[in-house]
Structure 1
Amino acid sequence: MRGLRLLRAPAALLGCLCVLLFLGGTPAYAHTALKDATPGPGAKVAPGADVVALTFGRLKSGTTPKISLVGSDGSPVAVGRPEVADDSVVCAAVTPLRAGVVTLSYTVVSADGDQQSSAFQFEVADGAESVATPSACRGLSLQAPGAGGENGSILGLGRTTALVAFSVMGVVVVGGGVIVVRTMRGRRLTGSGRTAV
């Protein structure tokens, strides 16, 4: 009997340590999880909403979140460049929403550098309640949709940057072609001169 009592204490202590290790070792994945949204996942809103807002935990400063919307017909909805308010609320102006199911996709970077991407859907329907611009977004001067934001980009670059890059690439290709042609002509002339001698 006494031997069983002596074994129970270490077994109970070992069980407690295992529970503590299991609970203490669980990683914290929820720090960038979506906490609130306007319109929110599964919400039903009236047509005409022109601002979306997503609330997270603290986001990394200096990073630009990405937001994209797709209408029920599969066509993209123009989105202006997202802005961050209060280090946690992402606001973006969008083309006034039309009736149908809208899919919103986002990518954000938390304060510790972890990136999270996800998506959700909401419905825009006649007769539904209008959605007001969230208070955190009201003081921001949001870029108009299609004014050089995500939808005005080419291969992920700003329109101006992309045009400059393509121009430089064009000059390099044309210049390289001219050099190759001149080199080939020079070799031919040198070769024909040797034949004549």
Structure 2
Amino acid sequence: MSPSRRAAGRFVAVLLTGILTLVVAATPARAHNGLRSASPARDATLTRAPTAITLEFLARLDPTFTNIVLTDGTKRRVATDDPVVSGATGSVRVTGPLPNGTYTVAYRVVSADGHPVQGSYPFTVADPAGPAAPSPEPPGPSAAAVAPGPGGRVAVVGVAGTAVVVLLAAAVLRRRRRSPRP
């Protein structure tokens, strides 16, 4: 086999190895997490104020980067305990009062695979014996904003894999150009 054919074979092998590395590294990114169920449920009208907010996701959560925030109709934060994570479920205990009104649950979680997921949904408390809802204030910065957490480890692996493929391909091409041709 001629040296140029051997070099071409090596180049193809390196290229295929690089592509395989990228595909394998990117595979977890396809398994996006998402909210499976929530209690209270999206758009629910409750006759009693909930004592906890429980969110169940499709994949395991990273407890370090799980944020769940509850706000009232005036966008003020309602007092809750820190989130507790068990597998794919995150929850907070409501420690502040919930008079009648509309509330928003906002969440930002990071899956065990590094994929961040965020969202929000409303629910309403309509307790016939409960106090009235707080009066709305002029719009301002939303307390429902959830601080971002680190994620995207898969993206870092993908970028690193791409760099390795490019460097290997460049090395093979450089070597191929330097080798004598018959």
TM-score (norm 1): 0.47
The equivalent of 1:108 in structure 2 is 109
In 1, Cα distance between the equivalents of 2:64 and 2:75?
Answer: 28
Secondary structure in 1 aligned to 2:68?
Answer: strand
Structure 2 gaps, min length 5: 1-26, 130-142, 149-182
1:47 is displaced (CA, Å) by: 3.5
- Change in Cα spacing, 1:76 to 1:70, as seen in structure 2 (3 Å) is same
1:127 is displaced (CA, Å) by: 4.5
The equivalent of 2:124 in structure 1 is 123
Structure 1 gaps, min length 5: 1-24, 129-150, 157-197
In 1, Cα distance between the equivalents of 2:71 and 2:40?
Answer: 14
Contact 2:71/2:78 (<8 A) preserved: yes
The equivalent of 1:44 in structure 2 is 45
TM-score (norm 2): 0.50
1:46 is displaced (CA, Å) by: 2.4
Contact 2:61/2:89 (<8 A) preserved: no
Q: Does 1:93 align with 2:93?
A: yes
Q: Please tell me the residue identity of whatever aligns with 2:37.
A: D
1:62 is displaced (CA, Å) by: 4.4
1:40 is displaced (CA, Å) by: 1.1
- Change in Cα spacing, 1:62 to 1:75, as seen in structure 2 (3 Å) is closer
Contact 2:61/2:85 (<8 A) preserved: no
Contact 2:68/2:91 (<8 A) preserved: no
1:61 is displaced (CA, Å) by: 3.8
Query: Which structure features the higher share of helix residues?
Result: 1
- The one-character-per-residue Cα deviations of 1:32-61 (angstroms, maximum 9, x if unpaired) are 211100001111112332111000022244
What is the number of equivalent residue pairs in this alignment? 104
Answer 1 or 2: higher relative contact order, Cα 8 Å, separation at least 6.
2
Q: Does 1:81 align with 2:82?
A: yes
1:132-147 equivalence runs, <5 A: none
- The one-character-per-residue Cα deviations of 1:136-190 (angstroms, maximum 9, x if unpaired) are xxxxxxxxxxxxxxx9xxx99xxxxxxxxxxxxxxxxxxxxxxxxxxxxxxxxxx
Percent identical across equivalent pairs? 30
The equivalent of 1:72 in structure 2 is 73
Secondary structure in 2 aligned to 1:63?
Answer: helix
Which has the higher Rg, Structure 1 or Structure 2?
Answer: 1
